[in-house]
Amino acid sequence: MNPEFSALVLNTLRNASNQDARFLKPAEQQLRLWETQPGFYSTLLAIFSNYEIEVNVRWLAVLYFKNGVDRYWRRSAPNAISEEEKTMLRQNLLHNFSEPVHQLAVQLAVLIAKIARFDCPKEWQELLPRVLEAVRHKDELHQERALLTLYHVVKALSSKRLAADRRMFHDLTVNIFNYILYLWDNHMQQILHLISQKDFNVSASLEKSLLSLRVLRKLIVHGMKSPHEVQDAVRFMSLVFHRIPEFLHCRKALEDRNNLRELLEKSLIVLTKVLHDVLELHPFSFVQFIRSSLECTVSLCFTPAGEGLLFERFRVQCLNLIKGILFCPEYKPAKVIEETKEPATLEAHRIKMEFFSYSTLTEICRRLLTNYFLLTEEDLEAWDNDAEEFATDEGGETWKFSLRPCTEVLFLTLFHEFRQTLTPLILDMVQKVTREPATEDMRTILEKDAVYNAVGLAAFELFDDIDFDNWFLEVLLQELKLKTSSYRIIRRRVTWLIGQWVGVKLSPELRPILYEALLPLLDEHEDLVVRLAAANTLKAPVDDFEFNTDQFLPYLESSVGLLYTLLEQASECDTKMTVLHVLSFIIERVGSQIRPHTAALVHYLPHLWDMSSHHNMLRCAIVSTLVHLVQGLGTLSEKLQSFLLPVIAHSTDLNQPPHVYLLEDGLDLWWAVIENAPSSSPDLLQVAGSIFPLLELGSENMRTCLHIVQGYILLAPQEFLQNYGQNLVSSCCSMITDIRPEGMVLVMRCVEVVLRVFPEEGSDLFHPLLSSVLSSLLQNEDFPMVASMYLSLLARVILHNQRVFAKLLQDKASEKGQQTEEVLSSMLDIWLEKMPLVHPVERRKLLGLALTSMITSNMVVIHDRFCGLLLAVNEVLNDIIRTEDPEAMIDSLVLTNSDELHQDHDEETEHDKRKRELSIHDPVHTVALREYLCTQMNAIQQSLGQSTFELLMSTVDAETLQQLKEYIRA
């Protein structure tokens, strides 16, 4: 090793650990340059192995080494570390089992594990023997560091999934499981003995036992195919049930020694994770431990045996284990039990049914409601100190991992599994709390709250057992009228309970009574938690498929006003998001009826947007609300564009980090603004330029982006194509090079809109793309929808711009080295083959019009396919001609003034009106195909002369000719 280079690297690492940017930046740059230099990692190893060097410098050396392993250890990696250097590194890494700094020891163990994942066992056969030898070392630190390394190596190897790697890990497990089990049990016995003797000098033993236990967990879960067939594994699992209560009692004896308590708690959690993992990954191996698991967990959580011993995270693990056993699909027999094929499934089911007797079930359920469901003093204190945080925590991340939601899920699991047994108990508890008079006694209030919680959770299960309409009218409405301070708990719970049952069994005719009951609960003088519960409950009937707008309209103004006041008064982002969510639902459901009640909200949202610059999720809720608001306001939303357009620009700007959160809603808002704009504006047109970078993404938002483009084409056709036409052509040509058929159809529809709005200029503008379309069609595109769009575009070019169509044929002929007629011939053959697959009938008529226009071209390729052309046109006529009046054959697709006058357009957006106007002038709806065919047939007859014409008609089959004569004669 070069001493000068080593000194230089050491000095650079010192500079890289300096907070002064003058030293830090150049040092980091230099270290990046050295990453691929031979000997760099050997130098790093020497530096972090030298205990006399500063810890922060050694730490940095380990991190750079780890990063190098990720990037350059594989043989196939560019600038890979040489095999010679890797050999030396592997040898010297195993001399570091005396690292004095724990954090560095962890990093070193992870580093060794990363290399082991690449090289073990082929290139690093001595790793595991050396580590196990170090585990047997007499020195405490040496042994602990070796166990730490063994754990991370085993963890890394257990994550490999190839068959050969799994076999290797299985062999490793066979070789070391017994010894690690002996090591863990030996440490455990020693710890238990010392603590029983009031000797608390057990920290080192606890560390080593925890590491041993973690190794055992990985080995039994990932290193054994059938743990129940391995004697040592069965012994280990049996030991788990003995150690859990012993550890809990030891933990209680260590109340004033937090570091030891923490280590014991970690061990207890790992023990429960062993059970969880074996249950999940080896359910049939777990069958013999079902009873022991249930007896242990139920005893600890639902009998006096666990009082004073449990801590929350352990209790959560226990309850989840019970739920896991109940949920396990391998333990559920067929509906007809005798048809179950797996004997282990029947055995598991038998054990479950025997354990969950009537008395056990009812006791668990009763304790869940009377102990676990009760709000605690800490809950009520949090409610008083910060009502918003209390209300939002119950739906947030912290709530998901706390005890009460875990108990609620367990309750539902039990209730679903044993409904017949538990329903009478719940109904009895409901009757009991309902009969009790209103009181200020907190225990009584909390128990009622818990029972109502259970009824709300099990709403679907209790559907046939509770007359909810009667209960709502006779009991729950009265509960909501009790305004004492303590009774806020019941008002909040009853409000939530009603929300749970609205979509289950509350009669639609009772909705007005519900609205009347909720409005006082939204009042600003009500408790904030109750107001939020009322807001969420108000969303339930509004979001229900039986929602009746007319029923809600009398309460619309009050609801929006009260929700707006709550939104304005709330200080937490989560609260504001909740209220905005409810407002969005209401606005969406009542549509244009919202218009008289939006003034305050419209005035407030710009202020809220400015306030929420650092809260992306709140801004998402604002944008989502704006989408529904614009849709409800319709053309009136034009007045909001000075606010809406900057919001759209910010939300859809790929250079702004918040676009990750806001893009989808921002595009929806953009589309809503375009859809409802009665006219264009310079500002609205200026924003349009931002759409093209989004089209280049080719993401799941492409559909909305293309809708926006189509909206602009109809809203401001001249201005949009003048400013952005070339951008659009470039984007479309780029997109169709690598896109799925569904996306291709979307792009083609967008191009078709341009051709419909600008029948002649559009063909010139999109000439490059139309050339690609013709090429793809000639390759006989297999997807009917894509082929249909190709043919539609070419049909419009044929009808409106023969010059461009001729140029397309000439270009393709030059490219292929063919005559123009040959290209046209190939195109027509594919056209006639695909035409029966084209849908809807409007597109087939468009293609029929184009074919009809080609009849008079007097080209040989047309005359050669004259029969096929007429057959295709005849089939279109069969689909579109109405023959109610024998004297008149009416083209059903041609729009008349009468048709337009009698159509109902009340719910049309401005974009819908523009589309309708475009359709009115489309040849499909203005040209009668039968009359056009008659004109063309007369023209070709005059052009060819009678004898030549008759000769041409003789090529048409008799059936087609007969149908043709009927249409022409009429």
Q: What is the pLDDT of residues 663-673, one digit of tens each?
A: 999 999 999 99
Write the pLDDT tens digit of every residue in 576-586: 999 999 999 99
Q: Say how many C-beta atoms besides its own lie within 10 A of residue 523's C-beta.
A: 14
Chain position carrying tokens 């080896």 = 282
Which pLDDT band, with edges at 50, 70 and 90, does 780 fall under?
A: confident
Tell me the three state secondary structure of residue 506: coil
Bond before 840 cis per omega within 30 degrees: yes
Which pLDDT band, with edges at 50, 70 and 90, does 895 fall under?
A: confident
Distance CA 101, CA 635 (A): 69
Q: Say how many C-beta atoms besides its own lie within 10 A of residue 895's C-beta.
A: 17
Q: Please determine, for residue 365, whether its predicted confidence score (pLDDT) is greater than 70.
A: yes
Q: Would you state the pLDDT for residue 884? A: 63
Distance CA 184, CA 766 (A): 75
Which pLDDT band, with edges at 50, 70 and 90, does 258 fall under?
A: confident
Classify each residue of 89-125 as buried b or exposed e, where b means 16 or more C-beta atoms within 10 Å of its C-beta: bbeebbebbebeeeebbbbbbbbbbbbbbebbeeebe
Listed residue (793, 755, 757) closest to 774, CA to CA: 793
**CA 123 distance to own-chain centroid:** 42
Q: Please, what is the Cα angle at 730 between 727 and 731, to 5 degrees?
A: 85
| 546 compared with 561, residue with greater pLDDT | 561
Could you give phi then psi for residue 882, rounded to 5 degrees?
-90, 135
Task: Burial-class residue 860 by CB neighbours within 10 Å (0-12, 13-18, 19+).
Answer: exposed
Those residues whose C-beta lies under 8 Å from the C-beta of residue 844, and which sit 6 or more positions away, are 835, 838, 875, 876, 879
Q: Say how many C-beta atoms besides its own lie within 10 A of residue 561's C-beta.
A: 15
Distance CA 485, CA 496 (A): 18
Chain position carrying tokens 């340059």 = 33
Q: Measured between alpha carbons, how far apart are the two ends of the chain, in Å?
A: 101
Distance CA 889, CA 899 (A): 17
Token pair, residue 950, equals 């008759």
**Rounded mean pLDDT, 635-645:** 95
Distance CA 442, CA 560 (A): 34
Q: Are 295 and 242 in contact (CB under 8 A)?
A: no
Tell me the CA distances in angstroms from 373 to 367, 409, 549, 609, 922, one per residue in order: 9, 11, 37, 38, 66
Distance CA 680, CA 719 (A): 9
Listed residue (509, 251, 489) closest to 375, CA to CA: 489
Write the pLDDT tens digit of every residue in 366-379: 999 999 999 999 99
- The mean-pLDDT minimum among 383-387, 393-397, 789-793 falls in 393-397
Q: Please determine, for residue 436, whether its predicted confidence score (pLDDT) is greater than 90.
A: no
Q: Would you state the pLDDT for residue 901? A: 42
Distance CA 207, CA 204 (A): 5
Write the pLDDT tens digit of every residue in 307-339: 889 999 999 999 999 999 999 999 999 888 888
Those residues whose C-beta lies under 8 Å from the C-beta of residue 404, and which sit 6 or more positions away, are 372, 373
Write the pLDDT tens digit of every residue in 653-694: 999 999 999 999 999 999 999 999 999 999 999 999 999 999
**Rounded mean pLDDT, 762-779:** 93
Q: Are 915 and 921 in contact (CB under 8 A)?
A: no
Q: Please determine, for residue 826, whether its predicted confidence score (pLDDT) is greater than 60.
A: yes
**CA 637 distance to own-chain centroid:** 31
Task: Burial-class residue 579 by CB neighbours within 10 Å (0-12, 13-18, 19+).
Answer: buried
Q: Are 71 and 35 in contact (CB under 8 A)?
A: yes
Chain position carrying tokens 């560095």 = 104
Tell me the three state secondary structure of residue 887: coil
Distance CA 945, CA 942 (A): 5
Write the pLDDT tens digit of every residue in 469-526: 999 999 999 999 998 889 999 999 999 999 999 989 899 999 999 999 999 999 999 9
Which pLDDT band, with edges at 50, 70 and 90, does 404 fall under?
A: confident
Token pair, residue 666, equals 């921002």
Q: Please, what is the Cα angle at 730 between 728 and 734, to 5 degrees?
A: 115
Distance CA 950, CA 789 (A): 35
Helices (H) and strands (E) in the chain, counts: 53, 2
Those residues whose C-beta lies under 8 Å from the C-beta of residue 466, and which sit 6 or more positions away, are 427, 430, 455, 505
Distance CA 944, CA 89 (A): 92
Distance CA 340, CA 350 (A): 13
Bond before 121 cis per omega within 30 degrees: yes
Token pair, residue 848, equals 């029929």
Distance CA 487, CA 445 (A): 7
Crossing angle for the helix pair 866-880 and 958-969, nearest 10 degrees? 50
Q: Would you state the pLDDT for residue 538? A: 95
Task: Burial-class residue 902 by CB neighbours within 10 Å (0-12, 13-18, 19+).
Answer: exposed
Which pLDDT band, with edges at 50, 70 and 90, does 364 fall under?
A: very high
Q: Please determine, for residue 886, whether its predicted confidence score (pLDDT) is greater than 70.
A: no
Question: Running DSSP on this structure, what letter comes out for residue 80?
Answer: P
pLDDT above 90 as % of the chain = 79
Question: Running DSSP on this structure, what letter comes out for residue 882?
Answer: E
Q: Are 837 and 845 in contact (CB under 8 A)?
A: no
DSSP string over 538-607: HHHHHTSTT--HHHHHHHHHHHHHHHHHHHHH--SHHHHHHHHHHHHHHHHHHGGGGGGG-HHHHHHHHH
Q: Would you state the pLDDT for residue 1? A: 58
Mean pLDDT, the chain, rounded, equals 92
In the chain, the amino acid numbered 283 is: P
Q: Please determine, for residue 55, whether its predicted confidence score (pLDDT) is greater than 70.
A: yes
Q: Are 564 and 604 in contact (CB under 8 A)?
A: yes
Write the pLDDT tens digit of every residue in 111-129: 999 999 999 888 999 999 9
- The mean-pLDDT minimum among 388-397, 731-740, 886-895 falls in 388-397
**Rounded mean pLDDT, 45-50:** 93
Q: Would you state the pLDDT for residue 191? A: 92
Token pair, residue 179, equals 């010894």
Those residues whose C-beta lies under 8 Å from the C-beta of residue 133, and which sit 6 or more positions away, are none
Q: Would you state the pLDDT for residue 906? A: 61
The pTM of the full predicted model, rounded to 2 decimals, is 0.84
Distance CA 210, CA 591 (A): 61
Q: What is the largest CA-CA distance in the chain?
A: 123
Q: Would you state the pLDDT for residue 781? A: 67
Q: Would you state the pLDDT for residue 399? A: 44
**Rounded mean pLDDT, 358-367:** 96
Listed residue (491, 489, 455) closest to 471, CA to CA: 455
Token pair, residue 154, equals 């085993």
Distance CA 256, CA 197 (A): 16
Distance CA 285, CA 288 (A): 7
Phi-psi domain of 858 (left: phi exceeds 0; alpha: psi -120 through 50; beta: other) = left
Q: Where are the alpha helices (DSSP H) in 224-369?
A: 231-253, 258-281, 283-286, 290-302, 312-327, 343-355, 358-367
Q: Would you state the pLDDT for residue 255? A: 74
Distance CA 330, CA 327 (A): 9
User: CA-CA-CA-CA torsion for 810, 812, 815, 817, nearest 10 degrees?
Assistant: -70
Listed residue (667, 579, 670, 603) closest to 630, CA to CA: 670
Classify each residue of 865-888 as buried b or exposed e, where b means 16 or more C-beta atoms within 10 Å of its C-beta: bbbbbbbbbbebbeebbeeeeeee
Distance CA 287, CA 278 (A): 10
**Rounded mean pLDDT, 285-312:** 94
Q: Are 676 and 635 in contact (CB under 8 A)?
A: yes
Q: Please determine, for residue 465, whether its predicted confidence score (pLDDT) is greater than 50.
A: yes
**Rounded mean pLDDT, 374-393:** 90
Q: Please determine, for residue 902, whether its predicted confidence score (pLDDT) is greater than 90.
A: no
Write the pLDDT tens digit of every residue in 927-946: 999 999 999 999 999 999 99
